[in-house]
A and B are shown apart, each in its own frame.
Chain A
């Protein structure tokens, strides 16, 4: 490469653009690299600023963890160099994701009903019932279509060899899909030349599939009234909530816009109460219904769970799905796939040590400086220890926490996530990435082509979460 990548040096990890150095580009990247080289670094930087302005104008912003009108509001850092996945790779991933979600849904239905997987000794009962995601209120319940998990977003990574792994299952209102869609919009707007002559799989159908998925849940009517329930403008994913509601043409509502009355749930409108059939809720189980879950919640709707259980409203996702994205239950997914589907897992798990088990715990405590320790119920990169990057004091603190509450922790080997060239302070630098594809499950399953690539835009950082300073980039599934 002449100009653009002249000073770029891939790291020790798997670089998704280059095999060893900038003279050995991966074949699928060659056409893009030549377009980028024609553009040059200066123009790339200029267009990058234009892209940021566009995101601000669209209001693609989130608010950091503070409230009040003067809270800091900013766009999710956006990197202009797309991440590319070949069509062949993608087909495998797509099948793997469908397989995984199929098994997880069967698992959810099983543990809230006949509990065969427990009775057959595959998963210990104590691990299920001690999970923070376990909702005994749902025992004996069958949601519409027998499906619990309509919308999920799984985190995938590539290891040093380039092999794909599932890192986390996000089954409780996963976010980021609006950035996934918005990034493509910005790329098309600002960098149209990069697309020309290339077959990038379009992603615009997501809102249509989401709407269809939600509609299918209302098995009692052909003309369902669907709403998206948001905690409101102070939620960091609020942009996404309003974006999706607008794209689907459904109403965006808050808890106090709804009321449960005579076993049904209604919208408060200027012409009185109107019945609601389906709620795409972006509020966690705990806050959904102060009558049945947390009493102090003012975000949800009183009595909503009872209406749901009476079969008079559909909730996506059903309450209780959190049991399956407990980071400890995660380690059982390969067994679930075998148990329910009698298949081998297509996308592998990351090796996971369960601190609940004595043997694993001893190993973890002895090797804390080499491992990543995660709290099983936390998300967003919180409650984590990254051994190799931690101080002795931090390691001791985690050792104490693990001994005190072993059920709450798992550990995994430190993974060198794959890297993709990204703009860091105006220069190209190999930054670590993960990938969050979105899976929709109504009557059929649908996987978004690609997903949100999150990127650690700080030199040397492995943390890609937006709440921890990460950014994102457009993801292209390329090929005939």
Chain B
């Protein structure tokens, strides 16, 4: 038995931490990449804001759009609800609400990460690359602790659900934004591009090494898109996440009825089927951006249906 409020908190703790982890990865990779960019070339910064859908808000607050503005906006701007510091603060607020459900180890991990990120605390005294990779490690440590200490009951399943939905969303966003940044025009689709940039994209999604293992040929846009969207065993690919979401939802709802499937059941089943059996050529032909856009809308819809079925009553 799990309280609706608690299920919701667990779901959001994991979404927030996964979001913080992804942002730290994006910024970390972009910063490293920008050092390789000759002056005046396409800077990697603004697309990061696009990836989080916060462009309008950012432009209003920082009309000069300097790289430092972007970095601060994404990392430690308390007014930006999607900055790393805000995500971690929200995750901890949610964690405080449900301390009785989390294990002590989980709580201490999230609590210490929060205190380390307050002004003047240890994380900010390090070089930025170090800061970012430390934040990423700390978030991953939380997942590890969760998996190692929490019973595999409903509480754990709602945690996984939040983590996977956020991950599917972020992987698709990073691909969407970078793909068009890296392809100056559609004619060049499939052409030879600066391999460094593709490597950076893969690193942003935490996928470089596994991609290399899976794809021995040179790095091509289509194979990158295929890997990030459709790889069945890479844990950050959209398809892998959707499989996980579907299985988790099936276990949470352990009383299937012989009536018409609910809207949530339909949604998870259709999404899983679609992303398991579609081919990358078909996606590219019909428009990669359109496919990703519709995925994100589907994920939002899925979120709303979960909200409706389990969190409000």
- Of B4, B7, B112, most buried by chain A (CB within 10 Å of CB) is B4
Q: List A residues 51-89 near B (Cβ within 8 Å).
A: 56-59, 69-70
Give the residues in chain A near B101, CB-CB below 8 Å: 251-252
| Total A-B Cβ pairs within 8 A | 68
Once the chains are docked, how many angstroms separate the CA of A256 from the CA of B6?
Answer: 12
- Of A59, A242, A257, A267, most buried by chain B (CB within 10 Å of CB) is A59
Say if the beta carbon of A405 comes within 8 Å of chain B.
Answer: no
| Known contacts A57-B112, A69-B93, A257-B5; is-contact A270 B154 (Cβ 8 Å) | yes
Interface of B: prevailing SS? helix
Interface contact A252-B96, CB-CB below 8 Å: no
Which residue of A57, A59, A232, A269 contacts B2 across the interface (Cβ within 8 Å)? A269
Interface contact A233-B154, CB-CB below 8 Å: no
Interface contact B96-A233, CB-CB below 8 Å: yes
Say if the beta carbon of B99 comes within 8 Å of chain A.
Answer: yes
Give the residues in chain B near A268, CB-CB below 8 Å: 3-5, 313
Give chain A nearest CB distance to B311 CB in angstroms: 8
| Known contacts A57-B111, A58-B108; is-contact A271 B1 (Cβ 8 Å) | yes
Chain A residue total in the interface (Cβ 8 A)? 28
Once the chains are docked, how many angstroms separate the CA of A52 from the CA of B46?
Answer: 42
Say if the beta carbon of B275 comes within 8 Å of chain A.
Answer: no
Interface contact B100-A251, CB-CB below 8 Å: yes
Q: List B residues 69-94 near A (Cβ within 8 Å).
A: 78, 89, 93
Once the chains are docked, how many angstroms separate the CA of A50 from the CA of B158?
Answer: 36
Which bucket holds chain B's interface residue count? 20 to 34
| Known contacts A59-B107, A270-B2; is-contact A246 B96 (Cβ 8 Å) | no
| Known contacts A233-B97, A238-B96; is-contact A59 B111 (Cβ 8 Å) | yes
Interface of A: prevailing SS? mixed
Interface contact B4-A56, CB-CB below 8 Å: no
Give the residues in chain A near B115, CB-CB below 8 Å: 56-57
Interface contact A233-B93, CB-CB below 8 Å: yes
A273 (CB) vs chain B CBs: closest residue: B313
Interface contact A69-B1, CB-CB below 8 Å: no
Once the chains are docked, how many angstroms separate the CA of A256 from the CA of B97?
Answer: 13
Say if the beta carbon of B33 comes within 8 Å of chain A.
Answer: no
Once the chains are docked, how many angstroms separate the CA of A271 from the CA of B310?
Answer: 8
| Known contacts A57-B108, A59-B111, A268-B313; is-contact A256 B5 (Cβ 8 Å) | yes
Which residue of A57, A251, A270 contacts B252 across the interface (Cβ within 8 Å)? A270
| Inter-chain pairs besides A58-B111, A59-B96, A268-B313, 15 sampled, C-beta below 8 Å | A69-B93, A233-B93, A238-B96, A242-B99, A245-B100, A250-B100, A252-B101, A254-B5, A257-B5, A268-B3, A268-B4, A269-B2, A270-B2, A270-B252, A274-B1
- In order of increasing CB-CB distance, the 10 nearest A-B pairs are A245-B100, A242-B99, A252-B100, A246-B100, A270-B310, A270-B2, A59-B111, A269-B1, A233-B96, A270-B7
